[in-house]
């Protein structure tokens, strides 16, 4: 599964295997994707990432899934992945958006700001093996 997130300006978009997030058929499809993301997070090895990456991910999960601030900072990737899989409803879209920018690779960023709004455009890509 290939996830691509583009942020900045009016260019914000998210695609899952080439399909725009807005065109995904329903929340059941989004939930399947989020569950795969949760499994991916659970599979990450603590020693392969710095503390900042895990804690930043934890803070985003707290915000989007309505957990108390700083309550997940000491959770492992395995635990964070299971928490992500508990997402539902509107939370699914937030999970799709923030995980890619937290764990994905920057595959593009604009050299110059947008002429209209001044924002820079960033593209993040995250590939998860099925």
In this prediction the pTM is 0.86
Domain of 79? 2-127
Confidence (pLDDT) at 127: 94
What distance in Å separates the CA atoms of residue 62 and residue 122, rounded to the nearest whole number? 24
Burial grade of 115 (CB within 10 A; 0-12, 13-18, 19 or more): exposed
Confidence (pLDDT) at 59: 93
Could you tell me what percentage of the chain is helix, strand and coil, using 3-state DSSP and rounding each to the nearest 5?
A: 45, 20, 40
Under-50 pLDDT residues of the chain: none
- The closest of 63, 67, 60 to 101, measured between CA atoms, is 60
Number of domains in the chain: 1
């Amino acid at each position: 599964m290939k996830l691509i997130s583009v942020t900045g300006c009016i260019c914000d978009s998210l695609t899952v295997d080439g399909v725009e997030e807005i065109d995904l058929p329903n929340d059941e499809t989004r939930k399947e994707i989020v569950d795969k993301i949760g499994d991916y997070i659970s599979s990450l090895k603590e020693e392969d990432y710095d503390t900042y990456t895990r804690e930043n991910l934890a803070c985003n999960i707290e915000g989007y899934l309505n957990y108390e601030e700083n309550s997940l900072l000491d959770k492992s990737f395995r635990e964070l992945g299971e928490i992500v899989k508990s997402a539902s409803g509107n939370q699914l879209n937030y999970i799709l958006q923030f995980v890619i920018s937290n764990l994905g690779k920057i595959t593009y960023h604009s050299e110059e700001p947008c002429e209209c709004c001044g924002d820079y455009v960033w593209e993040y890509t995250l590939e998860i093996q099925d």
